[in-house]
Amino acid sequence: MAFASKLRMIAPALGIWALAAFGTSAVAQTPGGTLDKIRTSGKAVIGVREASPPMAYALGANTNYTGYHVELCERIIRKLAPQAKLEYFAMTPQNTMPLVQNGTVDIGCGPATNNLTRQQQVAFAVTTYISQVRMAVRADSGISDWKQLDGKAVAVTTGTTAVQLLRKLERDADIKLNTMQTKDNLESLLAVEMGRAAAFVLDDNLLAGIVANSRDPKLYKLTGSTLQSEPIALLFRKDDPAFKQAVDGELTAMMASGEMAKHYDKWFVQPIPPRNVSLNLPLSDELRALFAKPNDEPIESYNKR
């Protein structure tokens, strides 16, 4: 039987089924909303990244995507729309917002910072990671402080918040940087390896993941004081509060049960593929407190604390 025919047969019971899927709180499905789209089409499109371990990345050339956020997205969709086929759409930091905004992807699980500017385009789920923006340098470089980058080339991936943070760093520290914007994180790290850049600036979890899966992890070290703490979250269409409530409900349930802490341990403490290397980033007190009291606050309000 065609999916559309099945849908017509179950339509009278759809409202009751939706309430069960969303948990104890009543959530009305938005006509034309994300869940309606997924159930009608029979598929859910998950936005992923190809080179952002441990959050979202591809294993080899077969586009087998995995990661901390990828598994969260998969779990959520399978819970809310069990019959939907999962499809993956590779995104970049540059095109993530428009692809989520126009509905090309149903939920974005690549690492994205929740900020007020982006909230004008998309909606964010409750925060699932708090990153610290730092730098990766060659272990033999002698660099340990931001001021040592004065006059040097610094690699950043186009579309990441690190671009703006380095501009602010130049003003605050009275230094001049030659900012080298690259197309992805792998190219940024390669610039450091080849000596074209003195440092690669990004979220600490992503830096750790990229270094751990590099050709020679011992070649690099993470250093420098934190430029900024950033709330990282899943994202989806802005005009669909029912979908946000459903996603947040699944995430907060995982946090309350302790399952989220176990999920974190799997990706940040235990060895991860493909090299089976641990990132050695234990759950911080800050993130543990956030799991206890989840919120979706943007970076602007977060950094006022």
| Backbone conformation region of residue 58, classed left if phi is above 0, alpha if psi is from -120 to 50, else beta | beta
Residue 17: the pLDDT is 31
Query: Quick one: pLDDT at residue 32?
Result: 78
pLDDT at 74: 98
Average pLDDT for residues 78-102, to the nearest whole number?
A: 96
Query: Residues 32-75: pLDDT tens digits?
Result: 799 999 999 999 999 999 989 999 999 977 679 999 999 999 99
Comparing 23-32, 147-156, 279-288, the range with the smallest average pLDDT is 23-32
Q: What is the value of pTM for the model shown?
A: 0.79
* Residues 160-196 pLDDT 10s: 989 999 999 999 999 999 999 999 999 999 999 999 9
Average pLDDT over residues 206-223: 93
> Structurally, what CATH architecture does the domain formed by 132-229 represent?
3-Layer(aba) Sandwich (3.40)
Lowest mean pLDDT among 20-24, 118-122, 130-134, 265-269: 20-24
Same fold for the pair 30-128+233-302 and 132-229: yes
Sorted by where each begins, the domain ranges of the chain are: 30-128+233-302, 132-229
Mean pLDDT lowest among 34-38, 235-239, 281-285, 290-294:
281-285
Average of pLDDT values for 130-158? Answer: 96
Residue 280 is predicted with a pLDDT of 87
What residue has token string 């050709």? 215
Banded model confidence at residue 31, pLDDT cuts 50, 70, 90: low
pLDDT surpassing 70 at residue 27: no
DSSP the chain: --HHHHHHHHGGGHHHHHHHHH-SS--PPPTTSHHHHHHHHTEEEEEE-SEETTTEEEEGGGTEEESHHHHHHHHHHHHH-TTPEEEEEE--TTTHHHHHHTTSSSEE-S--B--HHHHTTEEE-S--EEEEEEEEEETTS---SGGGGTTSEEEEETTSTHHHHHHHHHHHHT---EEEEESSHHHHHHHHHTTS-SEEEEEHHHHHHHHHTSS-GGGEEEES--S-EEEE--EEETT-HHHHHHHHHHHHHHHHHTHHHHHHHHHHTS-BTTTTB----PPPHHHHHHHHS-----HHHHTT-
The whole-number pLDDT of residue 77 equals 98
Indicate if the pLDDT at residue 1 is higher than 90.
no
User: Residue 304 has what pLDDT?
Assistant: 61
More confident residue, 144 or 2: 144
**β-pairing verdict for 64-66 and 85-90:** unpaired
pLDDT, greater one: 51 or 23: 51
Least confident of 14-18, 73-77, 147-151, 175-179: 14-18
Give pLDDT, residue 67: 97
Q: Which has more confidence, 22 or 61?
A: 61
Asked whether residue 292 carries a pLDDT value surpassing 50, the answer given is: yes
The predicted model gives 258-285 an average pLDDT of 94
Query: Mean pLDDT of all residues in the chain?
Result: 88
Q: Is the peptide bond before 54 cis (omega within 30 degrees of 0)?
A: yes
To the question of domain 30-128+233-302 being in CATH 1.10.3720.10, the answer is no
pLDDT: which is higher, 233 or 8: 233
Give the pLDDT of residue 87.
97
